[in-house]
Amino acid sequence: DQQVKQNSPSLSVQEGRISILNCDYTNSMFDYFLWYKKYPAEGPTFLISISSIKDKNEDGRFTVFLNKSAKHLSLHIVPSQPGDSAVYFCAAKRGWTGNQFYFGTGTSLTVIP
Partner 1 sequence: DVKVTQSSRYLVKRTGEKVFLECVQDMDHENMFWYRQDPGLGLRLIYFSYDVKMKEKGDIPEGYSVSREKKERFSLILESASTNQTSMYLCASSISGHEKLFFGSGTQLSVL
List residues binding partner 1 (CB under 8 A): 2, 6, 9, 32, 34, 36, 41-46, 49, 89, 91, 96-97, 99-106
CB of 89 to partner 1, least distance (A): 6
* Bond preceding residue 79 cis, omega within 30 of 0: yes
Residue 2 vs 14, nearer CB to partner 1: 2
First to last CA, the chain: 38
Residue 1 vs 113, nearer CB to partner 1: 1
